[in-house]
Amino acid sequence: MLKDSDRIFGDDLHEECGVFGVFGVDDAANLSYYGLHALQHRGQEACGIVAADDRGELHVVKGEGLVTEVFNQSNLSTLGGSMAIGHVRYSTTGGGGMLNVQPFVFHHFTGDFALAHNGNLVNSRELTHYLEMRGSLFHSTSDSEILAHLIKKENNESHRIFAIIDALNMLEGAFAFLIMTRNRIYACRDKYGLRPLAIGRLGNGYVVSSETCAMDIVGAEYIRDIEPGEIVTIDSHGIRSRDYSQYKRHCMCAMEYIYFSRPDSDIEGCNVHAFRKQTGRLLYKEAPVEADVVIGVPDSSLSAAIGFSEASGIPYEMGLIKNKYIGRTFIQPSQQMREKGVRMKLSAVRSLVKDKSVVLIDDSIVRGTTSLRIVRLLKEAGAREVHVRIASPAIKHPCFYGVDMSTHDELLCAYRSKEQAREAIEADSLEFLSEEALLEAGRRSELCMACFNGRYMTDLYRNAEQTDRDKNC
């Protein structure tokens, strides 16, 4: 997934995926379609749904493209039954195309099963080697397939829940997994709680989703978040919980709140819009500035911009307008066209910024190329000054948990002082939010902030080099 401002200019920040599951509700696949549509922001490259029919046979439809491109009345009608899991995916380079599109379906003499994964395993190379030495043949280059091999390779004789628990305990990294068999769904989160996963009720059945916004869309009622280190079994007996790990942290990825999740989602009891608005208020408290107008980078920075405006009393204006109707197939302006001033995706409202001192609020800075372009855009529209305020700390380290922040070299702030970063983006001033303020905004004692401070939750097993397998979610 691309960061909004990066999407605007075609820069390259990738994110994870989204999962959605339905148990015990008629037309489960149709509901999954709507659920996945609500999670589309988490991955636009590919998507899929696996449904179990009344005899427990698994049927799959998946493909590359948006939810509305992959599914239609005709192929959804092949997915009958009251149980389904779905996935939206964003992959990185060389990801193997269709082979890596989830959910995966596995055939085994003990019973077929399907699997969908959001996150990234940091010990995938070690586990792949371990499994291949024991005869496993991988069909994809996605680390998501590892769990299936572990479940079946290690514990053929075990009861399935114990096989899954043993397998989960071999994984290191970030994950939210949905596993569907012929008669139940297992939903589990990593023991650090890095990726979100929540469960809701719909009639006599249940839904499980990466974000609560998808529950609202299908009319489900939120019950609770699945806990770190927990595996929830959903079947005709209802829902049952087990801890597969005694070690538990509540280190939700801070970027879920800052940028990735939809503002109408609640994550672990905190609404994403409310969180962002509070970061805007705290940003003003930590880095005040005198200015005429507050402008947010659409869309993910607007909540923080509103909060900054409320705290400062400086009026909030829609000074940047995003063209929402540019599809993926739109022909991007060439360098020559760009030099002629062709900017299809974002424009500044000249009458709002001309001769004004502007506070520009953005949720984060990754490479800085986008920030530079927006600062220039505002100045070309007549802004007298542009003061950049970032509603998160400076990103200085890569992410190994499913967000492709590439290498240190590509991060604006990895090796630059704040003053050097300010110069690079041609802003009149530049300030970031503190880590303490992030925790305060979410009323939390813990968050993963490893891309800000380098304190990773897990061993990394190797340094910054990552294989394609690692980067697939």
Residues acting as catalytic residues:
17
449 binds ligand SF4 per the rule CB under 6 A? yes
33-41, 144-152, 312-320, 448-456 -> range binding ligand SF4 (CB under 6 A): 448-456
CB closer to ligand SF4 out of 28 and 366: 366
Nearest approach, Cβ of 397 to ligand SF4 (angstroms)?
7
* 411 binds ligand SF4, rule: CB under 6 A: no
Q: What is the DSSP letter of 170?
A: T
Q: Which of the stretches 176-184, 354-362, 397-405, 424-432 binds ligand SF4 when contact is defined by CB under 6 A?
A: 397-405
Q: Which of 212, 450, 458, 470 binds ligand SF4 (CB under 6 A)?
A: 450
Question: Taking CB under 6 A as the criterion, which residues in 27-66 touch ligand SF4?
Answer: none
CB 62 within 8 A of CB 103: yes
Maximum Cα–Cα distance across the chain: 74
Contact call for residue 253 and ligand SF4 (CB under 6 A): yes
Residue carrying the six token digits 């190379």: 125
Spatial separation of the C-alpha atoms in residues 106 and 179, rounded to whole Å: 11
List the one residue from 33, 90, 104, 401 that touches ligand SF4 (CB under 6 A).
401
Contact 459, 192 (CB under 8 A): no
Give the three-state DSSP class for 17: strand
One symbol per residue from 158 to 197: x for binding ligand SF4 (CB under 6 A), - otherwise; what is it?
------------------------------------x---
Is 399 one of the binding residues for ligand SF4 (CB under 6 A)?
yes
Number of residues that bind ligand SF4 (CB under 6 A): 11
Using an 8 Å Cβ cutoff, are 403 and 253 in contact?
yes
The answer to whether residue 13 forms part of the interface with ligand SF4 (CB under 6 A) is: no
Structure tokens at 330: 């739109």
Phi, psi angles (nearest 5°) of residue 448: -75, 125
Burial class (CB in 10 A: 0-12, 13-18, 19+), 250: middle
By CB under 6 A, name the one of 184, 451, 466, 472 that touches ligand SF4. Answer: 451
Q: By CB under 6 A, which span of 64-72, 78-86, 280-288, 445-453 interacts with ligand SF4?
A: 445-453
Q: Which is nearer to ligand SF4, 64 or 435 (CB)?
A: 435
| The dihedral sign for the CA sequence 244, 249, 253, 257 | positive
Q: Which residues lie closer than 8 Å to 334 by C-beta, 6 or more apart?
A: none
Contacts (Cβ under 8 Å, ≥6 apart) of 73: none
In the complex, what is the shortest distance from the CB of residue 141 to ligand SF4, in angstroms, rounded to a whole number?
21
- The CA distance from 340 to 447, in Å, is 44
Q: Which window, 130-138, 150-158, 267-275, 398-406, contacts ligand SF4 (CB under 6 A)? A: 398-406
User: Given the complex with ligand SF4, which of 196 and 296 has the nearer CB atom?
Assistant: 196
- What is the DSSP code (8-state) at residue 345? S
Does position 448 bind ligand SF4 by CB under 6 A?
A: yes
In DSSP terms, 45 is beta-bridged to: none
Cα–Cα distance between 209 and 198 in angstroms, integer? 5
Select the span of 40-48, 132-140, 212-220, 443-451 touching ligand SF4 (CB under 6 A): 443-451
Site residues (vs ligand SF4, CB under 6 A): 194, 253-255, 399, 401, 403, 448-451
